[in-house]
């Protein structure tokens, strides 16, 4: 029985054909991978663009909501100031509590204080209305700002000094922080000194 052998030329030809087929197959696979990758990347890019648009829209909505909330808060702050200046301390305290500390009491005092000093009694009454929450709202800051205004404008007469002093009596018991307690005591001593300066003087 005669065995058939392939010649070297035939071997090389077959090898070349197989290599060509393999190369072609690899190229087709590579092209397919690139095509799939491009489609995949295009889909990712489309999703990314959609997410960016959604994010911008959400940010715009949040910004509008924040603007509306800020406008509402400013309106409440203005109403609070108006109530204090109109001696309606009870309503002012309700609004202030509802604002839950977002309206700094030092800023409120600056907003409410009038150059003629006629809001002193109302402001002090307002601070007293918040006495139970003195620590939470930091009412001592309001007293300090009010005192600063009155002293700077030379408006600390006997009556105003008396009103502030009596309001400060016992205020430290509503504080837990030693620094704030010391602030109450320091301001009360200042008011005592001021009242003593009126002793012997005519009203």
| pLDDT for 25 | 84
**pLDDT number for residue 201:** 67
pLDDT of the residue at 118: 85
Enter the tokens of residue 190.
């200042």
pLDDT of residue 16: 85
Q: Are 143 and 166 in contact (CB under 8 A)?
A: no
- Tens digit of each residue's pLDDT (9 = 90 or more) over 87-106: 999 999 999 999 998 999 99
Residues of the chain with pLDDT under 70: 1-5, 200-203
pTM of the model: 0.71
C-beta of residue 115 within 8 angstroms of C-beta of residue 146: no
- What is the pLDDT at residue 27? 87
């Amino acid at each position: 029985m005669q065995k058939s052998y392939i010649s070297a030329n035939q071997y090389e030809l077959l090898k070349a054909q197989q290599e060509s087929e393999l190369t072609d197959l690899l190229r087709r696979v590579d092209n397919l991978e690139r095509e799939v990758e491009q489609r995949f990347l295009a889909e990712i890019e489309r999703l990314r663009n959609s997410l960016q648009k959604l994010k911008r829209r959400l940010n715009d909505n949040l910004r509008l909501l924040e603007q509306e909330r800020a406008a509402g808060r400013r309106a409440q702050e203005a109403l609070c100031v108006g109530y204090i200046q109109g001696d309606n301390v009870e309503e002012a305290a309700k609004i202030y509590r509802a604002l839950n500390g977002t309206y700094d009491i030092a800023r409120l005092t600056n907003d409410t204080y009038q150059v003629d000093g006629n809001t002193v009694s109302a402001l002090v009454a307002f601070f007293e209305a918040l006495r139970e929450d003195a620590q939470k709202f930091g009412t001592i800051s309001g007293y300090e700002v009010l005192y600063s205004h009155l002293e700077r404008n030379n408006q600390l007469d006997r009556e105003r000094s008396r009103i502030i002093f009596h309001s400060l009596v016992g205020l430290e018991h509503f504080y837990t922080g030693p620094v704030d307690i010391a602030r109450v005591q320091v301001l009360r001593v200042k008011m005592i000194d001021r009242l003593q300066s009126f002793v012997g003087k005519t009203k």
